[in-house]
Amino acid sequence: MSRIDELKQWLKKTAARTVWAYGPEELAARLPKCGVLAGSTLVVHSSWLPYNGFRGKPADVVRVLKAAVGDTGLLVMTSMPYHNMSSAQWLAKGKPMNVARSPSMMGLISEVFRRSEGVCRSLSPTHPLLAWGRDAEAFVEGHALTDRPFGAQSPFGRLLERDAIILGFDAPFSTFTYTHFVEDQLASTLPFELYEPDLMKGEVIDRYGARLECEVRVLSAEANRLRRESRLVAHLEQAGVLHSDRIGNTRLTWISAADHSRESARFVAAGHHFFDDPTR
């Protein structure tokens, strides 16, 4: 490491301990400004960055989030057991998703949340969700019974019913899996198939050790190739429903599920789209 790099690292460490520093109390006070209140359904996507300024551990973040929604609310996180690969590539490996043992590869906070008391995990071989709080078991129920892991019959559809707040803690909008639910709802507006034509097989192991084979649809290679999410982000920001702020050196990004669904549909109805048309 060069002297300049060493200096940059020292400056970041110093800033994280001083001007960027904030604690659990400050985070708890900021969450209501993001629309998070007692009784809320809150979906959190997160990254644990070394110089975020937070004075505490990932477990402290989880405690703050649980306290923010309270026993009458619901805290949700993604817990996909794979990273840097597509769902199709994961399923091709033939590894089961073990509800009790497969770690969440969606960041350290997500994994700490998975291991915390009272958390339920949905039975999806590709997109399992973690939930804690009111009706957590009912929220995750039936995920293995639908072949569309973020379709209307999945827990992702229940996020819209609950008008969930989707929050990124040092995680950008591109990590918000709810967008795939929106894509599923707008699939008929696409000039190509959102999903690959053939179902893929996946296996889940429930908390009692029982194995269940599932048939799952995966996003098509065409959809992944033609997605232009930056257009949607620009519209949501212009519409005033996608918000961002900072606390310490942590970037917070948030939107409600209802606003996301409504404005995305409005964007498409106006003749725009966040997918390219392969025929043009």
* Residue extents of the structural domains in the chain: 3-269
Radius of gyration of the chain from Cα atoms? 19
Q: What is the structure's pLDDT at 280?
A: 81
Q: What is the structure's pLDDT at 20?
A: 95
Q: What is the structure's pLDDT at 279?
A: 86
Task: Please name the helix (run of DSSP H) or strand (run of DSSP E) that holds residue 156, with its range, or none.
Answer: helix 155-161
Q: Cα–Cα distance between 182 and 79 in angstroms, integer?
A: 19
Q: Cα–Cα distance between 61 and 59 in angstroms, integer?
A: 5
Which residues, at least 6 apart from 63, have a Cβ–Cβ distance to it below 8 Å?
A: 24
Cβ 109 vs Cβ 48: under 8 Å: yes
User: 254 has which bridge partners?
Assistant: 167, 243
Per-residue pLDDT of the chain (280 residues; tens, 9 = 90+): 687 778 788 888 988 899 999 999 999 999 999 999 999 999 999 999 999 999 999 999 999 999 999 999 999 999 999 999 999 999 999 999 999 999 999 999 999 999 999 999 999 999 999 999 999 999 999 999 999 999 999 999 999 999 999 999 999 999 999 999 999 999 999 999 999 999 999 999 999 999 999 999 999 999 999 999 999 999 999 999 999 999 999 999 999 999 999 999 999 999 999 999 998 8
Cβ 133 vs Cβ 70: under 8 Å: yes
User: 255 has which bridge partners?
Assistant: 166
Q: What is the structure's pLDDT at 15?
A: 84
Q: What is the structure's pLDDT at 245?
A: 97
**Total-model pTM:** 0.95
CB atoms within 10 A of CB 3: 7
Q: What is the structure's pLDDT at 173?
A: 98
φ, ψ of residue 207 to 5 degrees: the values are -70, -10
Q: Tokens 């229940």 label which residue?
A: 158
